Structure 1
Amino acid sequence: MSEAAALAVRRRAECGEGPVWDASAGAMHWVDIVRGEILRTDPATGETTATRYPEMVGAVAQRADGGLVAAVASGFVGFDAAGEIDHRVDCLPNGIRMNDAKVDPKGRFWAGSCAMDFAAGRGGLWMLAPDWSATLVLDHLTQPNGLDWSPAHDAFYLVETQARQVLRFAWDADRGTIGTSPTVLVDADAFRAYPDGLCVDTRGHLWVAEYGGGAVHEFSACGERLQTVPIPTAQPTSCAFVGPALDELWVTSAAAGIDPSADPGAGSVFVVRDLGVTGIPSTPFGG
């Protein structure tokens, strides 16, 4: 087993986030939230292209019929296969933006919203259905962040970054609903900084990037920390299993507030190979 993270994509992203593997395109999609950049990387070469959007972009995902869906500052946007906007759902007021987002196993797009200044209680959890209707599922959150589902489709995981917690909700995949009484799967004492993005592997283990902690942690489905993988930059933001075999853990990071001479890799993407585990294929958005 290797626990050495290697540089995969050198970039000075202000806040690189939201990596997702698109098997049909053979590429990883990710974003730079602050710059509004939608990024696409060929993992074989590390070649990365960027498309600028005029708002902050929290995350993107592939669509079933081609193109991308994006969680943006005003709500949600759909791009067709040619990159043209064909849907727009403005559901957020000024001062609030979408943050991390992911497609559930049934093709719905879920996104957390937060205040620009992370004011307590002003965030929420949204669900965008394939018919492009947006529903506020949870309110009174602060900075909802990484999210994913268990392989058995019976649990939904959500990071509350400011509380430094990973929450577990009961999950009804067919109805697309979550329970009203989450449990704290991983509490603040497991982190010295801030949990951020996460992904779940085929065994149901959670991989959580620690912003400010320079690491990605593996937790069991019961919340036990199993290992810590150092990442050679201070602000890892999220992670996803990437590649045709979904056996490489790719980790995004943020350069915001960091002196380049002190942390030259900040904002880059790193890869951890030979972990001996694989990820779950991502589901395209159904809209």
Structure 2
Amino acid sequence: MSATDTVGDWRPCTPARHQLAEGARWHDGRLWYVDLLRGDLYRWSGLFDGPPEAVLSLGMPLGAVAPVAEPAGGWVAAAGDGVALLRPGDPPVWLARPARRADRAMRMNDGVCDPAGRFWAGSMDVGAASGAGGLYRVDTDGSVHQVLDGLTVPNGPVFSTDGRLMYLADSAQGTITRHTVDPATGVLVGTEVFVRFAVREGRPDGMTVDDRGDLWVALWGGGEVRCYGPDGSVRRSISVPTLHPSSVAFGGGRMFVTTARHRLGRPGRLAGAVLTRPSRVTAPAALAFA
């Protein structure tokens, strides 16, 4: 890593430049993320003298993972056209293939667990056809339920610490909606538009909720990460030294932002890097699938 790789407080975690790094999560004292289009899962120890470790490679798109609670361990993943349980060296164990359709090519995108241990993940048309996607909830018994349809490029969702609020971005529509959730059942009982973005601001991509209840959003095409209070006000905006930030996470006294080279005709030297900077913001570690 050269001195010229550092821009302001930002520096790349490793020399790697990914086509589409996504799904940043802090778990077990390390950063985990995916290279979505390649289907690779990585972890980074927090030491700047070595590359990230490739944990597994699926050979199909890998949108996001969440840890599975012990003693089972491993990961639950939004992968290919479905939801699967993953362990390094083993084939995927599919819980369901909700994005498998005969009339169009679909894939899963982002996903996360809620405080009750349910896994939520979105689907989309591979060409981002309007309204072709949906949001699915995987209950702790392994059953899979569609909870929303008519989505285009769903990202998130993310949850408040009590599990009663869910934020969901539709990147193509430039919106973040906020949903009231029954924490006992996972049923959505209310919906409102939380933020609507102008095209010039970028598109909302990966998100996280910090320990104060503020929502942090990576703005794809905007070169920025923005923080919103629960009332929808902008609390903070942080510039990122490349155009396509794709997800954000906090852990170990640092802020992490994944970025992409995808759809950049002339990507700069930091496009596709996983970037980090010191931060006093704290957030819950990635929640586990129960």
TM over 0.5: yes
The 8 Å contact of residues 158 and 207 in structure 2, kept in 1 or not, is answered as yes
- 1:254 matched to 2:260: yes
Partner of 1:27 in structure 2?
A: 30
The 8 Å contact of residues 41 and 48 in structure 1, kept in 2 or not, is answered as yes
Deviation at 1:248, TM superposition (A): 1.7
The 8 Å contact of residues 166 and 179 in structure 2, kept in 1 or not, is answered as yes
Secondary structure (helix, strand or coil) at the match of 1:196 reads strand
The 8 Å contact of residues 29 and 61 in structure 1, kept in 2 or not, is answered as no
Partner of 2:108 in structure 1?
A: 98
Deviation at 1:258, TM superposition (A): 2.7
The 8 Å contact of residues 116 and 163 in structure 2, kept in 1 or not, is answered as no
Partner of 1:6 in structure 2?
A: 11
Secondary structure (helix, strand or coil) at the match of 1:162 reads helix
Deviation at 1:191, TM superposition (A): 5.9
Secondary structure (helix, strand or coil) at the match of 2:201 reads coil
The 8 Å contact of residues 17 and 31 in structure 1, kept in 2 or not, is answered as yes
CA distance in structure 2 between the partners assigned to 1:5 and 1:277 by the alignment? 15
Structure 2 residue runs of 5 or longer lacking an equivalent are 1-7
CA distance in structure 2 between the partners assigned to 1:78 and 1:152 by the alignment? 25
CA distance in structure 2 between the partners assigned to 1:59 and 1:191 by the alignment? 27
Partner of 2:289 in structure 1?
A: 285
- 1:43 matched to 2:60: no
6, 22, 45: which is aligned to 1:17?
A: 22
What is the aligned-residue identity percentage? Answer: 33
Q: Say if 1:6 and 1:86 are closer, same or farther in 2 by CA, change over 3 A.
A: closer
- 1:74 matched to 2:43: no
Structure-1-length-normalised TM-score: 0.90
Structure 1 residue runs of 5 or longer lacking an equivalent are none
Partner of 1:198 in structure 2?
A: 207
Partner of 1:186 in structure 2?
A: 195
Partner of 1:54 in structure 2?
A: 59
Q: Report matched runs for 1:99-178 at 5 Å.
A: 99-178=109-188
Deviation at 1:190, TM superposition (A): 8.8
CA distance in structure 2 between the partners assigned to 1:71 and 1:254 by the alignment? 19
1:139-198 CA-partner distances (Å, limit 9, x unpaired): 11111112211123321100011111111000111111222x411111123962111000
The 8 Å contact of residues 178 and 194 in structure 2, kept in 1 or not, is answered as yes
Name the aligned partner's letter for residue 229 of structure 1. I
- Equivalent pairs, count: 275
Secondary structure (helix, strand or coil) at the match of 1:97 reads strand
Partner of 2:241 in structure 1?
A: 232
Q: Say if 1:56 and 1:134 are closer, same or farther in 2 by CA, change over 3 A.
A: same
RMSD between aligned alpha carbons?
Answer: 1.8
Partner of 2:4 in structure 1?
A: none
Secondary structure (helix, strand or coil) at the match of 1:279 reads coil
The 8 Å contact of residues 60 and 79 in structure 2, kept in 1 or not, is answered as yes
Q: Which has the higher contact order (CA 8 A, sep 6+)?
A: 1
Name the aligned partner's letter for residue 146 of structure 2. L
Partner of 1:271 in structure 2?
A: 276
1:81-125 CA-partner distances (Å, limit 9, x unpaired): x54236213222241111010011111111011111111111100
